């Protein structure tokens, strides 16, 4: 009897479970949708430029796309390469960032550029672990650059992505909750591991962000335009209005600033403003502003304030302040704007800046508004 090795039947790949089949469909649908529906944005070059992507990611943190679009190209015109950014003066970087708010991001962006030059010879690293070692780059930004620029299978989670994932799976809770954050990162990783390296992973990850920004919005999501509507639990159960749950409101602190607007007419006919630099830490750190004092809730007596200001070469020309309120994420800033002249021969640590030069100086939007309002005819010169 002849014996021999019988060929074994080819092993079949196990069929995907229903949940895995659903996830694969989600990945395919979203990547395909992004290829058709993506907005034309200046940092979405092909191929992706690592430096442009880095700048856009930091600008887009807590800032609307429309505002970033105004500042992105002018910033790159001033700092066209990561080397130029690393070598630039911090005051110039802050000035180019002016109007975007959260100025600490600009300092971190420059620190990141310096680190890339020093540690990686100017080449942006592609591995998440190396990206996380750079200043200003957290888990989301590292994942975005690794996946969108370099095609690595790295998960990303921000507010938009978390909202999409929660509605997709019907996961209740708010994005600030630690349990939800951990769940979202795990869910994003499950999905991104099903992508093909390269173009699909980039399209899928950016598709998550794009869907949250343009379709799966916090209020009144446009479910009829969503490529994932057939598999979305929140839509099926009519819970899009309650998922995610609203985030508890952060406590807002009230602060009071007495701002002294000082301007003079130059021999050239131009108007100059006296500015001083804020402390290196805290609110609007390192930016320039008219001379100011952080006051108490009660407005200071004009005479007492005049005596205090005279020590610094300032003489009040108004006895009643103009009051305005400016809101930040954690503060409600109550401005009391006064007007004065400057009698000292030298500005000292302060500087005179002409109206034409204001756009080149790092000044917060709040203080720009105060300066602009001081030009109104009802205000004293």
Q: Is the same domain home to 229 and 266? A: no
For residue 58, give the nearest of 104, 120, 122 by alpha carbon: 104
Q: Show which of 195, 210, 236 is a domain's final residue.
A: 236
What region, left, alpha or beta, does residue 114 occupy, with left being phi > 0 and alpha being psi -120 to 50 degrees?
Answer: alpha
The pLDDT, as a whole number, for residue 381 is 45
What region, left, alpha or beta, does residue 269 occupy, with left being phi > 0 and alpha being psi -120 to 50 degrees?
Answer: left
Give the CA distances from residue 335 to residues 71, 250, 262, 323, 329, in Å, rounded to whole numbers and listed in that order: 27, 22, 15, 6, 16
Q: What is the DSSP letter of 145?
A: I
What pTM, to 2 d.p., does this model score? 0.76
Q: What is the mean pLDDT of residues 181-186?
A: 96
193 occurs within a structural domain: yes
For residue 3, pLDDT over 70 is answered with: no
Q: What is the mean pLDDT of residues 206-212?
A: 97
Q: Is residue 278 within 8 Å of residue 358, measured between CB atoms?
A: no
Q: Show which of 206, 236, 266 is a domain's final residue.
A: 236
Q: Is the same domain home to 177 and 302? A: no
- For residue range 31-53, what is the model confidence (pLDDT) as tens digits? 999 999 999 999 999 899 999 99
Q: Is the same domain home to 277 and 232? A: no
301 occurs within a structural domain: yes
Q: Is the same domain home to 227 and 267? A: no
Q: For residues 192 and 133, give the distance between their C-alpha atoms in angstroms, rounded to a whole number.
A: 22
Strands 331-342 and 253-265: parallel
323 occurs within a structural domain: yes
Q: Is the same domain home to 351 and 228? A: no
Q: What is the CATH number of the domain that holds 266?
A: 3.90.79.10
Is 189 annotated in the active site? no
Q: For residues 307 and 114, give the distance between their C-alpha atoms in angstroms, rounded to a whole number.
A: 46
Which candidate in 57, 152, 171, 206 is catalytic? Answer: 57
Q: Is the same domain home to 213 and 302? A: no
Q: What is the DSSP letter of 290?
A: S
For residue 203, give the nearest of 79, 38, 16 by alpha carbon: 38
- For residue range 245-290, what is the model confidence (pLDDT) as tens digits? 988 777 888 889 988 898 888 888 888 899 988 888 888 888 899 9
Q: Is the same domain home to 129 and 192? A: yes
Give the CA distances from residue 59 to residues 89, 104, 145, in Å, rounded to whole numbers and listed in that order: 19, 11, 14
215 occurs within a structural domain: yes
Q: Is the same domain home to 262 and 207? A: no
Q: What is the CA radius of gyration of the chain?
A: 27
Q: Is residue 72 within 8 Å of residue 97, measured between CB atoms?
A: no
5 occurs within a structural domain: no
Q: For residues 359 and 206, give the distance between their C-alpha atoms in angstroms, rounded to a whole number.
A: 33
Q: Is the same domain home to 344 and 208? A: no
Q: For residues 55 and 60, give the distance between their C-alpha atoms in angstroms, rounded to a whole number.
A: 9
Q: Is the same domain home to 118 and 212? A: yes
12 occurs within a structural domain: no
Query: In 3-state terms, what secondary structure has residue 80?
Result: coil
Q: Dihedral sign, CA of 58, 62, 63, 65?
A: positive
For residue 378, pLDDT over 60 is answered with: no
Q: Is the same domain home to 197 and 59? A: yes
Query: In 3-state terms, what secondary structure has residue 105?
Result: helix
Q: For residues 178 and 198, give the distance between their C-alpha atoms in angstroms, rounded to a whole number.
A: 31
Q: Show which of 205, 236, 267 is a domain's final residue.
A: 236
Quote the tokens at residue 237.
């159960």
Average pLDDT, the chain: 88
What region, left, alpha or beta, does residue 301 occupy, with left being phi > 0 and alpha being psi -120 to 50 degrees?
Answer: beta
**Domain of residue 31, residue span:** 18-236
Quote the tokens at residue 189.
């990783």
Quote the tokens at residue 136.
């200003």
The pLDDT, as a whole number, for residue 213 is 95
Q: Is the same domain home to 216 and 290? A: no
153 occurs within a structural domain: yes
- For residue range 70-103, what is the model confidence (pLDDT) as tens digits? 999 999 999 999 999 999 999 899 999 988 888 8
Q: What is the CATH number of the domain that holds 218?
A: 1.10.340.30
35 occurs within a structural domain: yes
Domain count, the chain: 2
Q: What is the mean pLDDT of residues 332-355?
A: 82
């Amino acid at each position: 009897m002849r014996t021999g090795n019988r060929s074994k039947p080819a092993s079949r790949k196990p069929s995907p479970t229903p949940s895995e089949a659903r996830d694969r469909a989600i990945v395919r649908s979203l990547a395909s949708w992004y290829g058709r529906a993506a907005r034309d944005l200046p940092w979405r070059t092909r191929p992706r430029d690592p430096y442009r992507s880095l700048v856009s990611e930091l600008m887009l943190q807590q800032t609307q796309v429309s505002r970033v679009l105004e500042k992105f190209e002018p910033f790159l015109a001033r700092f066209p390469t990561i080397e130029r950014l690393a070598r630039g003066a911090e005051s110039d970087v802050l000035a180019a960032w002016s109007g975007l708010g959260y100025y600490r991001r600009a300092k971190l962006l420059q620190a990141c550029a310096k680190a890339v030059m020093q540690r990686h010879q100017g080449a942006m690293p592609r591995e998440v672990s190396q990206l996380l070692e750079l200043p200003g780059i957290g888990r989301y930004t590292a994942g975005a650059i690794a996946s969108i620029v370099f095609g690595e299978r790295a998960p990303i989670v921000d507010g938009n992505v978390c909202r999409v994932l929660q509605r997709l799976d019907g996961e209740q809770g708010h994005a600030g909750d630690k349990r939800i954050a951990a769940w979202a990162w795990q869910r994003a990783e499950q999905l991104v591991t099903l992508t093909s390296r390269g173009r699909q992973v980039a399209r899928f990850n950016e598709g998550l962000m794009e869907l949250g920004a343009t379709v799966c919005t916090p209020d009144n999501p446009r479910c009829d335009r969503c490529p994932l509507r057939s598999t979305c639990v929140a839509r099926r159960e009519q819970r899009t209005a309650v998922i995610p749950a609203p985030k508890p409101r952060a406590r807002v602190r009230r602060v009071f600033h007495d701002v002294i607007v000082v301007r003079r007419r130059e021999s050239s006919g131009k108007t100059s403003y006296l500015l001083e630099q804020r402390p290196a830490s805290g609110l609007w750190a390192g930016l320039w502003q008219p001379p100011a004092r952080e006051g108490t809730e009660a407005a200071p007596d004009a005479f007492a304030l005049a005596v205090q200001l005279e020590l610094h070469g300032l003489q009040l020309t108004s006895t009643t302040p103009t009051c305005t309120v400016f809101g930040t994420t954690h503060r409600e800033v109550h401005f009391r704007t006064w007007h004065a002249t400057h009698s000292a021969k030298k500005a000292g640590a302060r500087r005179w800046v002409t109206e034409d030069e204001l756009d080149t100086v790092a000044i917060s939007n709040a203080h720009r508004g105060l300066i602009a309002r001081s030009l109104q005819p009802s205000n004293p010169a």
